[in-house]
A and B are shown apart, each in its own frame.
Chain A
Amino acid sequence: MRSAIRNIILSTQRPILDRLSVRAVAIYSLRRMRADYAGFCVRVRRSSDSTERNIGFVGNVIDTVALLAFVGAGDGFVVRKHDHSVNGFDATQSNAAFQPRIVSAGVLDIRNARATTIYSGTQRLQTAAVINHPAQLSACVVAFSDTNSARAIFQLGAPNTLGSLFVETSNWLARSTSFTSASTPYINNSLEQLSVVIQNLSQAIYRRGVIGTNGSDGLASASNAVLTIGGLSNSVYLLTGGISELVLFPSPLSTADRQLLERDQGTYYGITVA
């Protein structure tokens, strides 16, 4: 009994992605979600002199003391979201005008008491490497939009080929191709935990752990699987809102894995998840 209790305690102390049965293909977060990840959290440019610096972690959370000390009284912008998986699919933005903000006038951008990255309609990051994609995808996201239509959190591949999560006509939508997307109601400016499970001919979207209306898009094709964060790959649907966390999996998550991650994201970000 004592051993069982100890194991339970130990398991709850391990970062969430170490407790799932599958490996994420890409992880973009402001916390460490895998114990083995020893790299940086994000690379940031400061507005005062355009110097850039990698920011790491304190414990399993972005080192906000180092971040704020580096940025000073100005603004800080994310130029590289380090991929915290084993794959190195870093998402970058080389144009200063398109970099999401993480510090505003010396103050950390936060949502629900946690650090976040802010997008104001022109920002997006992309991976240089192509993510191998077997025409199925899961994603667990913590994000918000302050506009109820034509705003995207991410897209994998070219429009209507592989997978995307976006807001349109007051719904959050998950789509692979272009027939009927999965949908769930959108609440303006509300930090949400959203999960997307895309398989061939079947798509599901969950908001706060509750399934929405399933989709029935066509067969996803695995071409040009560059990941765009904060918009679509053709630079439309650019987000006005924020993204705190995005985790991608190359397969449909099991219910158990999905719920474990959803509840962890809910607990961490102060979102009520079923």
Chain B
Amino acid sequence: MNYIPVKDPAAAKELSERLYKLSRPNPDPEDVTTSLIGWVFHPDTGAVMAALPDGLDLPIAVSSDPKALSALLTPFVAAGSITTADVTSIETKLTISKGSRVALLDILPAFWVERQQTYEQLKADGWFADAVFQSVESPSIAIPPK
């Protein structure tokens, strides 16, 4: 699993939902699934990282909108982090991938991908604190027989 920084939980949720819509743009009313990837919070700072499963690829539906991610990228173009050519390149990849599968990392801007961090890196930075649940357990747990 690798992780990329996102602005806040709402941005992570929107990214996850837009990615899922590439696969399922016209869901059945009974469908349960609405998003593709998860995200994690830093327990102290509240910072958010989107979680990218290793090697994840996703089916791109024939009826999907190649501009589905473009609105998310606009602020990065405005900030000069990526170019309009980068956005066009992603739209082109999504267009030519309709009806087939595409690697998730191939449809994210390089500016994001370059900021990926590994689980180990995040753990070292205190992202995955030990669960509180564990610390309240009584010390009188039975010892398994030998």
A residues at B contact (CB < 8 Å): 43, 45, 47-52, 54, 79-80, 92-99, 122, 150, 159-160, 168-171, 173, 178-181, 183-186, 212-213, 232, 234, 236-237
**Bound CA span A185–B133, Å:** 19
At the interface with chain A, which of B68-76, B83-91, B136-144?
B136-144
A-B contact pairs, 18 of them (CB 8 A): A43-B32, A48-B59, A49-B23, A49-B59, A49-B61, A50-B33, A50-B59, A50-B61, A80-B32, A95-B36, A95-B38, A96-B20, A159-B133, A160-B136, A178-B136, A213-B142, A234-B132, A236-B133
Cβ contact of B33, chosen from A48, A52, A168, A186, cutoff 8 A: A52
Asked if B46 is at the interface (CB within 8 A of a chain A CB), the reply is no
B32 and A52 contact, CB distance less than 8 A: yes
**Bound CA span A150–B137, Å:** 11
How far in angstroms is the closest Cβ of chain A from B55? Answer: 13
A79 and B133 contact, CB distance less than 8 A: no
Q: Annotate B74-105 by CB proximity to A: 1 below 8 A, 0 otherwise.
A: 00000000000000000000000000000000
A52 and B144 contact, CB distance less than 8 A: no
- CB under 8 Å from chain A, chain B span 112-142: 131-134, 136-138, 140-142
Q: A48-B59, A169-B141 known; A160 and B32 CB under 8 Å?
A: no
Count, A-B residue pairs, CB within 8 A: 104
Contacts of B28 in A (CB 8 A): 51-52
Contacts of A150 in B (CB 8 A): 131, 133-134
Cβ contact of B53, chosen from A50, A52, A97, A236, cutoff 8 A: A97
Contacts of A49 in B (CB 8 A): 23-24, 59, 61
**Bound CA span A159–B132, Å:** 9
**Bound CA span A194–B126, Å:** 35
- Closest B residue to A177 by beta carbon equals B136
Asked if B16 is at the interface (CB within 8 A of a chain A CB), the reply is yes
Max count, chain A CB within 10 A of own CB: residue among B20, B23, B61, B144: B144
Q: A95-B16, A171-B142, A232-B133 known; A79 and B23 CB under 8 Å?
A: no
Contacts of A171 in B (CB 8 A): 141-142, 144
**Bound CA span A79–B24, Å:** 15
Q: Annotate B18-50 by CB proximity to A: 1 below 8 A, 0 otherwise.
A: 001001100010111111111000000000000
- Closest B residue to A213 by beta carbon equals B142
B33 and A99 contact, CB distance less than 8 A: yes
How far in angstroms is the closest Cβ of chain A from B53? Answer: 6
How far in angstroms is the closest Cβ of chain B from A229? Answer: 14
Q: A49-B23, A179-B138 known; A160 and B33 CB under 8 Å?
A: no
- Closest A residue to B40 by beta carbon equals A235
Max count, chain A CB within 10 A of own CB: residue among B20, B59, B133, B138: B133
Q: Top 10 A-B pairs ranked by shortest CB distance?
A: A185-B144, A236-B131, A79-B32, A213-B142, A50-B23, A180-B138, A97-B38, A50-B24, A178-B136, A183-B142
How far in angstroms is the closest Cβ of chain B from A21? Answer: 31
Asked if B51 is at the interface (CB within 8 A of a chain A CB), the reply is yes
**Bound CA span A183–B38, Å:** 33
Contacts of A160 in B (CB 8 A): 133, 136
- Closest B residue to A217 by beta carbon equals B138
A173 and B141 contact, CB distance less than 8 A: yes
